[in-house]
Amino acid sequence: MPYAEGDPAPDELDATGIDAVVEAFAAAARRAVRLGLDLIEIHAAHGYLLHQFLSPLSNLRQDAYGGSLENRMRLLLRVFDAVKAAVPESMALGVRISATDWVEDGWDLVQSVELAKVLDARGCHYIHVSSGGLDPRQQISIGPGYQLPFAEAIKREVRMPVVAVGLITEARQAESVLAQEQADAVALARGILYDPRWPWHAAAELGAQVAVAPQYLRCTPHGLDKLLVAQQ
């Protein structure tokens, strides 16, 4: 199905195509290992392919990959298992999901919790909880921390760490998420694009320290002599 009226319609993957997608994820993971990366996050949110298989709004398949929740989760779980088998245990492996489509009868929090439990049992190292992006009919109630309730609900059901995201822009706001145990970590995207030194500024506001390359020590702000320390 096309995303919106007038968009080109994608082809439906056959069994050979699905196998190729799974192997492509595993091959990318092997390249990540060779590059020396420390973490892989499988993107199954925001209307990308794996999210399209999860959501009943976009997955109208009549085979083993469509219909029931178990079937709609099948591709993501195959990808996860293939990637996990391709990397050493020392590499962190997480999954990013949209907790809800924000559309009636779409992917929702209840299904997300079930998916999170399955991933947790399979040895997923963390889950990153976002939302939306699949359907132009989405009605999103946007406000500071508007996706936090999803992360908090999933955190209650799994052992693995849960990452929260979504209009978390201020240092004390982010700190409160951790202090109140709504999530185990906070991710920032647009906030970092706007202010690449956001972590430094947050550390200054919260009285923490940042380890930096020695050449940056000269930019320590007046009155914050203990903010920056040389990286070992």
**Which residues, at least 6 apart from 60, have a Cβ–Cβ distance to it below 8 Å?**
1, 66
CA distance 164 to 50: 20
Q: Taking 90 as the threshold, does the pLDDT of residue 39 lie above it?
A: yes
Binned at pLDDT 50, 70 and 90, residue 232 comes out as confident
Q: Which of 3, 48, 65, 146 is catalytic?
A: 48
Which domains, from first to last, does the chain contain? Answer: 15-196 (3.20.20.70), 197-232 (no CATH)
Torsion of the alpha carbons at 98, 73, 156 and 151, rounded to the nearest 10: -10
Does the pLDDT at position 120 exceed 90? yes
216 is catalytic: no
Name the percent of the chain in helix, strand, coil, to the closest 5.
40, 10, 45
- Name the strands in the sheet holding 39-44, side by side, starting at the edge strand that comes first in the sequence: 39-44, 92-98, 126-130, 162-164, 185-186
Decide if pLDDT at 1 tops 90: no
In angstroms, the CA 155 to CA 183 distance is: 7
Q: Beta strand pairing status for 162-164 and 126-130?
A: parallel
Residue 169: what residue type? Answer: T
* Residue 163 to residue 125: CA distance in whole angstroms: 11
Give, in order, the Cα–Cα distances in Å from 231 to each of 190, 199, 208, 212, 225: 26, 15, 15, 5, 15
pLDDT, tens only, 87-116? 999 999 999 999 999 999 999 999 999 999
Residue 71: the pLDDT is 98
